[in-house]
Chain A
Amino acid sequence: MNFRNYCILSLITITTAVAIYGCVKKPLEQSPTGQYTTGNYWRNESDVIAGVLGIYNVLFTEDWVGHDLYAYDDQSDDISVNGDHPDFKAIERFNIDPTLQLIYITWPFAYEQIGRANNAIIYIPKVPVITDSIRSRSLGEAYFLRAHAYFVLSQIYGEIPLILESNVLNGNYNVAKSSVDTIRAQVESDLLKAADLLPETYGDADRGRVSKGAAWGMLCKLYMFEDKFDKAIEYGSKVVSDGNYALAPNYEDNFMLGKQESNTEILFAVWNKNQEISNVPASAISTYFTPRAWQGWGFHHPTQNFADEFETNDTIRKRATLISVGDTIPYQTNMTEIGSGDAYQMFSGMEGQSTGRMLPSMSSTGYAIRKYTAFMPSGDGGVDYDLKQPILRSADVYLLVAEAKIRLNGAGSGDAEINAVRARAHLLPVSGAGMGQLMHERRVELGGENIRWQDLLRWDKDQVINLDTIVGRPKTASPLAPYNGATVIPARTFVRPKHYYMPLPQEIIDESKGVILQNSNY
């Protein structure tokens, strides 16, 4: 080739190379669309607000706060399980083994709440520009919700692995269990931070978020589990003495449509909303507690043992807590045919007719829990999921303070708090109340709210009571026909210390390959 040809050739080659280079794209620089990553989220205030609401979101979960935790309360004397979940029944009868579905399913969602909170705790402090009050409030909510999950886990399983910020950052999730004391110390520390960071009250638009009062109340309860009565009194009294957390004027306002949103007594609740008005989420608690014939699944039936606990004059609390055969509920329009088994009614109606009243065929005991049931005001027969699900009420804190005082200073020292609760129920005051009166008051005031069984365990560990006598008594149904006081659950045997805690789920033990050990006794 001559020089000219070389020139032409070079020119062609260079032109082609330049043309090719111009066309070459950068195919590796891809990023997901329509979703964020931990690398590009947590940029600003609205990310923080959504990130914190994302933690609350897990509360709706049916397998967690949204219902399944209530199945553990079926171990108490107040309620007996019904429905088709064999694992619930096994737990009620203390036939507990680590492979039961409920034992397993509670676990991941508890850690889901912890994981979401951990992320918020890691990233909120790093958000560059954000209103100070929003930053501290959001961080406080995250600490509170993490503490709540650990507190529940420690009540159910006892010793559990502690997963904190560093575990998330390092992806290190296979860690050994921590002692109950360590878990409680973490809960305490988180709640103290939350109490500092959270505001005392919220405006209308933010009702449903946790406040200082929620953190104080939860601290009070934690200290009761630790037998730190003076601390319980210290933090519980902050709630009792704060007008922002006053008892609702009417007991039933805590469980009634339209009365919950501005209710000062509800410190912490799952903030359900009406799904027929807008497409919003709600917990499944109404479904589980509402009788089957009324669009629910009717899983938990209160016992006669519990119904008997109400004082004769305590009609306000009893009617707000229990639905009894023959009762009606506002807006309940589902009609049920009266069958031959229902032919013992204590209300008008004959076999073959339809009625909106509760029938014996709807309950194995003659009762249903009233607190989580409401119907659409439109009268279309649908369950109204607008009903909030209270988790912590001031009344609970009042009675914890009373208990702490009684156990620290003796009978009568908790009269003020007990009588505040009784007065709201239009009952006469008591004086010189000891633990017997206190335990009675807690049982009827907080019935059906997944508190009784943990109270019983706590008292038994402290030898305030002997659980043997309680579980040794059969659970019975209503004395009325057709139940005739039948035994629903026969006498059970409580094994100490085995039954204080559930076993850890077998799946978790297996997955950890020896790092997480099963609870002793299982």
Chain B
Amino acid sequence: MNLTADGKAVSVQKLLPVKTASAGWQERWKRSGSTMFLIMRLAAIILLTASLHVSAAGLSQTVTISQRNARLEDVFDILQKQTNYNFIFNSHMLAKAKKVNIRVSNATVEQVLFLCFKDQPLTYVIHDKTIVVKEKVVAVEKPAPSEAGAPIPPQQVTGTVRDDNNNPVEGAAVTVKNLGTGTATDKLGKFVLNLPAGKYELEISFVGYKTEVRSITVGDDHFTNLNIILHVASTGLNEIVVVGYGTQRKRDVTGSISSVKGEDIQNLPVGNVASTLQGRAAGVDIVRNDGSPGSVPDIRIRGTGTINDASPLVVVDGVPAAAINDVNPNDIASIEILKDASASAIYGSRAANGVLLITTKKGNFGDPAKLSVGGYTGWNKAAKYLDMLKAPDLVTLKKEAYTNDGLTVPGIWNNSYYSTDRTDWQRALLGTGVVQNADVAVRGGNASSSYSFSGNYYNERGMIVNSFFKRYSFRINSEHKIGSRFRIGENIVYSNTNGSSPNTKSTQTGLLWSAIRFNPAIPVKNDDGSWGTSQADNQLGDINNPVATANEIQKYDKIDRILGNAFAELEIVKGLKLRANYGYDYSVEENYEFDNAMPNQTRGPSIASLQQYLSKGATFLEEYFITYNHVFSKKHNLTLTGGYSAQEYGGNYFKASRNGFADTSLDQRVLDLGNSSSAANRGYNYSPSGLQSYFARANYAYEGKYLLTATMRADGSSKFAPGKRWGYFPAFSAGWRVSDEKFYGGLKDKINTLKLTGGWGQLGNQNVGDFQYLSVISYGGGGGTGGGGYSYNLGTGTVNYNGAYVTSLANPNITWERAVMTNISAELGFLNNHLNATITYFNKNTSDMLVPFQLVETFGAQRNLPDDPGNITLPDYNLGRLNNHGVEIELTYNNTVGKLGYSLGANASFLSNKVTRLYGNSTYIASTPYGRENTDISRTYEGQPIASFYGFRTGGLYQTQADIDSDPNVANDPNKGNIKPGDVKFLDISGTGGKKDGIVDDKDRVNLGDPNPRFVFGFHGFLTYKGFDLNFNFVGATGFKLYNADRLSGLDATQVYNWYADQKGRWHGANTSNSIPRLSIDNLNNNYRSSDLWVQNGSYLTLKSLSLGYTISKQHVGDWQLPDVRVYFSTYNLFTLTGYKGYTPELGYTSGGNTPANSQRGVDVAQYPSARNLTIGAAINF
């Protein structure tokens, strides 16, 4: 049948659901008259609404459709493609809709809609370019009581419901409490209600989420649009978590994954993501190494898994990229920490130390553009200063030391100048630091595209002058649906970081080390403006004025980085998706250091020097994977994922330097102006490397109760010899949701949720040096007086010829480090799932751990010879074994009491670490010796925790000569005659046949403690009351020791520097002290050797962050709607409870030189101290 409308031919056929197929069009028009009336009336209402109008032009767009027995959604789809209208509907509602047959050409949208909605239990409204589908709600048609008596037409109330992750919640019930009516949200989370003027309570609820209630006033003067965020109810099990190459409902997860929400870690006054994770998740230990701006802590997941690089793999939006410093913490939507083998096996060879999946914030489809702006400023102050001797006390004690030994007191200590205290060097060096941060973001989307733009500026000025870290970052991402089966998207980040960290770890030039030791009688600057100096006498030490050094060294390290990835996803058939992902990460690092001449300083330098280098690195990633999801017989839910991934790395480096600058003013510090004869340069390529992988995963769930996951990854790495390259990493895990069983029954009231999971798997670590399977021959010239280089001279001229020789030996058998991990976990929900607990036991065995192996030195001269370095680098060998096992507990409690909403979280990890195999019984891996005393502090032995402290046990001080004479420890000691009262009593431990030998010698050195915390915990909470919010995070650790090496050196009477104030409590007569030895320059008893005198308990509890905010919700001022504004005040490191005597108990790793990365931990070398921070800030959401 044909009809002409607006002069165009329209052919309409409607067969179903009305069986009177032959009924005429006009007839039906009459039958649906009431509907038509409603539509017209609604249109009138909308037109009356100030903020809305129907686009007349839009209605004139024409449509051509031919569909038989089509679902309403499909018709909407077609309409959406042919016009620029979008539909808002709820699929639950559409389920009730009848199928339609329709064939029109060049019809108006209105005509098509009319045909579609005829005889449906649904109706629609057109709102701008959006067609909102709704149920025919009878209540709406009843006019509400009106004071004016005249009926006021209903007003439209719209809203969007989202979850914590900003994802729309589909099917949430929206109930008007007073009326008992309501609707449900559509798949974009949107709903529409038409309500007469009046005051209402809207209740928005959805299974698994906390119910939200909003009071609204419907009047005729404004349009109400609500934005509602539903927070996950205490069960937390319906959360979606990101897993490698996909997402999963948390309730179905069988591996061990901790999630940290972006909102919990925002606006903390730290520059990097790793720092924000401290105390947030069980099994995740954030090891702070250094408090200087831009320094990144180490992340240890489930203990230190290897003596080598034990950092987890960091994956940002699907691209493995380790530069955690370049990610703006405020851009992060969530961080998933994959802890066990089952969860991380999909990342195979790089997952042995865990995986961090960082997901950045995205825009939402169908969301209007939203602008958010935030900023904060904070101030940093040193949290602690060490007590050092004042000048008069120092002079007294120096004299005592010389007098004790019968030595002449050096003249300088009789010079009264040095008895006047002039400078507190720690306070002179450590000023107030400033942290500033600003964020701007615009996010939104339409039905087919979503986008996000964000910019960030972070600026930290350290407490030490010229130390800083700055970051600019810009992030763009978008996603587009092209048709119904194809999506593409991209994520591009540009970041520019610029930083300068002062040297605070050296015991020659470290700034803090120097400040602690610099003579307090010396002024920062002399009266003539020159820097105060220790040059006057070698009793003042060979150290530079640290304030001068900090001021005269100008340096920066600038990194420009582009990290981009693009993906395309095709849904081949329903449930089967193919995805391609390409990533490119390119960074350029520019390093500049100008060391100005300081000829009046003891260590100089006498002439200025400039050194610059440029380093470039790039990695390219390509990945293709298929995901298939299907539910069989409504019971069997199967998801298969499989794919291919390849990644390549490469880069190069070059460097140039000159010294001798005639003009050292700030604007003349360029290489060209240095002495040209001093020019030096070098350059090389970084070793390229590549990784090629195949992976597959199957997730199976039976009735949602029985869960299975199997994963397999095959990884090939160019770091190993052909034949040793491929590693295979399988993992299995299973879960049982016991509480979903029928027999569980009554127990459900007590333990609402009970889920048990267990898993086993193998992982790999390829974070090792490149090309160790090859014997490298270096070729070139060079060498100076005393050797080095490669060249040799011949003949009579000045000619020098290049030479070549082997510079590294090969280990052709080198291969993956492996970790085998077992995981058993229980998830429990109590108190109506307000309280949730996860308890996990894990056992992780690292095998084939690569360790430096000391070949007998008949191969040549090793590169790290103690005195003069040789030429040959030795490869590592897959020899070591390591075990980490422990228990992790995570607790969360969420509830609302009246207007008080609160959520508390606590986590704890109990961890035990032991090296189970090394080279043999009494062999060990050495670490960097400490300081001027060259103290051998940390050793890694078979059978002991990694990097344990090592030295002598002591039994106090000898108080009298009789104590010495009768001491069995030194009964046969040839040094006995040198010991005097006030010296340390070192204990004799070794001997033969159970009999001690009565000699204190090297054999008596023993393990003095473990620097790896046995117990790490965090306790955090979030409370809201009306507009106020309070957020706190406590972190702590216990069950470990720290080695206060700085104190050792600060009390060492043989050191010519200033001493710790505790030196006043030294032994100076019987029973004056039992811990601080007598002052002796000769130190014949070697009182300051490595011993338990310097080992202290490291336990601490810190209030890491505390913030108090107040949010002013959207207010109207006249016609203006003001944005949400949250203002807040926060502190970082407000206080630390600890018995440890140094700056901070968070000391981190201090391995240096050629020693393995994790061979030294918890040794106090006067690292840059932690700062106490106060911050104020505001966040504005438009």
A109 interface contact, C-beta 8 A:
yes
Contact B787 A205 (CB under 8 A): no
Please give 18 more A-B residue pairs, beta carbons under 8 A apart, in addition to A9-B572, A24-B644, A205-B799: A9-B573, A12-B572, A30-B690, A36-B804, A37-B776, A39-B774, A41-B777, A41-B779, A53-B804, A111-B857, A112-B871, A116-B805, A119-B805, A163-B859, A207-B794, A262-B796, A274-B798, A281-B789
Q: B246 at the A/B interface (Cβ < 8 Å)?
A: no
Interface membership of A407, Cβ < 8 A:
no
Q: Are B789 and A28 in contact (CB under 8 A)?
A: no
CB distance from A74 to the nearest CB of B (A): 18
- Determine the chain B residues whose CB is within 8 A of the CB of A205 once the complex forms: 794-795, 799
Mark contacts of B460-485 with chain A using CB atoms, 8 A cut-off: 1 yes-contact digit, 0 otherwise.
00000000000000000000000000
| A278→B779 contact, CB < 8 A | no
Q: How far is the CB of B685 from chain A (nearest CB, A)?
A: 4
Are A281 and B801 in contact, CB atoms less than 8 angstroms apart? no
Distance (whole angstroms) from the CB of A245 to the closest CB of chain B: 18
CB distance from B830 to the nearest CB of A (A): 49
B870 touches A23 (CB 8 A): no
Interface pair A34/B646, CB less than 8 Å apart: no
Chain B residues whose CB sits within 8 angstroms of the CB of A60 once the complex forms: 783, 786-788
Contacts A25-B622, A111-B859 given; does A36 touch B779 at CB 8 Å: yes
What distance in Å separates the Cβ of A285 from its nearest Cβ neighbour in chain B? 9
Q: Does B202 touch A at the CB level, under 8 Å? A: no
Interface: A35 (CB within 8 A): yes
B719's closest neighbor in chain A, by CB?
Answer: A30
CB pair A61 B787 closer than 8 Å: yes
Does A396 have its Cβ within 8 Å of any Cβ on chain B? no
A residues 95-125 in Cβ contact with B at 8 Å: 101, 105, 107-109, 111-112, 114-116, 119
Q: Bound state CA distance, A209 and B795, in angstroms?
A: 9
Segment among B143-151, B231-239, B860-868 that sits at the interface with chain A: B860-868
Bound-state CA distance A237–B100 (Å) is: 117
- Complex interface residues of chain A between 109 and 151 (CB less than 8 A to chain B): 109, 111-112, 114-116, 119
A32 to B858, CA, bound (A): 26
Q: Which residues of B contact A9 (CB under 8 A)?
A: 572-573
Q: Which of A30, A35, A278 contacts B800 (CB 8 A)?
A: A278
**How far is B609's CA from A465's CA once the two chains are assembled, in angstroms?**
59
**A51 CB contacts on chain B under 8 angstroms:** 777, 803-805
| B365: interface (CB < 8 Å) | no
In Å, the complex CA distance between A508 and B857 comes to: 6
Within 8 A of B (CB), among A33-83: 33-39, 41, 47, 49-58, 60-64, 66-67
Q: Is the CB of A108 within 8 A of B861?
A: yes
Could you write out 12 A-B pairs with CB less than 8 Å apart? A28-B692, A30-B688, A32-B774, A41-B777, A50-B804, A51-B804, A60-B788, A111-B860, A161-B858, A261-B796, A271-B793, A280-B800
Give the CA-CA distance A27 to B784 in the complex, in Å.
39
Q: Is A282 an interface residue (CB 8 A)?
A: yes
A431 within 8 A of B: no
A280-307 vs B, Cβ < 8 Å mask (1 yes, 0 no): 1111100100000000000000000000
Q: Which of A64, A261, A273 has the most CB of B within 10 A?
A: A273
Closest residue of A by beta carbon distance from B809: A171
Residues of B within 8 A of A272 (CB): 793
A319–B810 Cα distance when bound, in Å, is 52
Q: Please measure, in the bound complex, the distance between the C-alpha atom of A26 and the C-alpha atom of B718, giving whole angstroms.
A: 10
Contact flag A206-B795 (CB < 8 Å), given A24-B646, A32-B776: yes
Of the candidates B573, B692, B803, B854, the one having the most CB atoms from chain A within 10 angstroms of its own CB is: B803
Per-residue interface assignment for chain B, residues 685 to 719, with 1 indicating a CB less than 8 Å from any chain A CB and 0 otherwise: 10111111000000000000000000000001110
> CA separation between A208 and B419, bound complex, in Å?
63
Q: Which residues of A contact B782 (CB under 8 A)?
A: 279, 281
**In this assembly, does B535 line the interface, its C-beta being within 8 Å of a C-beta of chain A?**
no
Residue of A nearest to B872 (CB): A112
- Using Cβ atoms and an 8 Å threshold, which residues of chain A touch B156? none
Q: Give Cα distance in the complex from A56 to B688, angstroms.
A: 32
For this complex, into which size category does the number of interface residues on chain B fall? Answer: 35 or more
The answer for the CA separation of A287 and B786 in the assembled complex, in Å, is 9
B570 within 8 A of A: yes
Q: Which residue of B lies closest to A208 (CB)?
A: B794
Contact surface of A with B, Cβ cutoff 8 Å: 1, 9, 12-13, 16, 20, 23-39, 41, 47, 49-58, 60-64, 66-67, 101, 105, 107-109, 111-112, 114-116, 119, 161, 163, 167, 171, 173-175, 204-209, 261-262, 271-275, 277-284, 287, 385, 507-508, 511-513, 515-516
A55-B805, A57-B803, A105-B867 known; A281+B783 contact, CB < 8 A? yes
Q: How far is the CA of A175 from the CA of B856 in the complex (A)?
A: 9
Are A56 and B792 in contact (CB-based, < 8 A)? yes
Q: How far is the CB of A507 from chain B (nearest CB, A)?
A: 7
What are the 4 closest A-B residue pairs judged by CB atoms, nearest first?
A27-B690, A281-B783, A62-B786, A54-B803
Across the interface, do A47 and B804 meet the contact criterion of CB distance under 8 Å?
yes
Q: How far is the CA of A409 from the CA of B717 in the complex (A)?
A: 71
A35 B860 Cβ-Cβ under 8 A:
no
A58: shortest Cβ distance to chain B, in Å?
A: 7
B787 and A30 form a contact (CB under 8 A): no
Q: Is B684 an interface residue (CB 8 A)?
A: yes
How distant is the Cα of A17 from the Cα of B716 in the complex, in angstroms? 22
- The interface residues of chain B lying within 8 Å CB-to-CB of A167 are 858
A511 touches B854 (CB 8 A): yes
B803 touches A174 (CB 8 A): no
Q: A24-B622, A57-B791 are in contact. Are A66 and B776 (CB under 8 A)?
A: no
Enumerate B555-578 residues with CB–CB distance to A below 8 Å.
570, 572-573, 578
Q: Which residues of B contact A67 (CB under 8 A)?
A: 786
Closest to B644 in A: A24
Contact among A20, A34, A273, A275 with B580 in the assembled complex (CB-CB below 8 Å): A20
Q: Which residues of A contact B690 (CB under 8 A)?
A: 26-30
Q: How far is the CA of A23 from the CA of B684 in the complex (A)?
A: 29
A-facing residues in B23-58 (Cβ within 8 Å): none
Which of B572, B685, B859 is within 8 Å of A13, CB to CB? B572
Minimal beta-carbon separation of B39 from chain A (angstroms): 38
Across the interface, A281 reaches (CB within 8 A) one of B691, B800, B855, B920, namely B800
Q: Does the CB pair A27–B648 fall under 8 Å?
A: yes
A173 and B718: CB pair below 8 A?
A: no
Q: Is the CB of A209 within 8 A of B793?
A: no
Q: Smallest distance from the beta carbon of A350 to chain B beta carbons, Å?
A: 28
- Find out whether the CB atom of A511 lies under 8 angstroms from the CB atom of B857: yes
Q: Give min CB distance, A511 to chain B, whole Å.
A: 5
Query: Nearest-CB distance from B992 to chain A (Å)?
Result: 19
B785 and A385 within 8 A (CB)? yes
A140 to chain B: closest CB distance in Å?
16
Q: Which residues of A contact B862 (CB under 8 A)?
A: 108
**Is the beta-carbon distance between A206 and B789 smaller than 8 angstroms?**
no
CB distance from A187 to the nearest CB of B (A): 16
CA separation between A209 and B862, bound complex, in Å?
26
- Residues in chain A near residue B570, CB distance under 8 A: 12, 16
From B622, B689, B777, B788, residue with most partner A Cβ within 10 Å: B777
Given contacts A34-B684, A116-B806, A271-B794, contact A281 B784 (CB under 8 A): yes
Contact residue among A31, A37, A55, A107 (Cβ-Cβ distance under 8 Å from B857):
A107
B796 touching A56, Cβ below 8 Å: no
A13 to B787, CA, bound (A): 63
B69 at the binding interface (Cβ < 8 Å): no
Query: Which residues of the other chain, A, contact B572 by a CB distance below 8 angstroms?
Result: 9, 12-13
Partner of A38, one of B624, B791, B806: B806
| Inter-chain contact A38/B718, CB cutoff 8 Å | no
Min CB–CB distance A175 → chain B (angstroms): 7
Asked if B802 CB lies within 8 Å of chain A CBs, one says yes
Q: Are B795 and A207 in contact (CB under 8 A)?
A: yes
Q: Would you call A23 and B718 a contact (CB within 8 A)?
A: no
CA distance A60 to B868 in the complex (A): 13
- Are A508 and B856 in contact, with the CB atoms below 8 A? yes
Given contacts A25-B646, A57-B805, contact A204 B796 (CB under 8 A): yes
CB-based nearest B residue for A207: B795
- Name B808-827 residues within 8 Å CB distance of A: 809-810
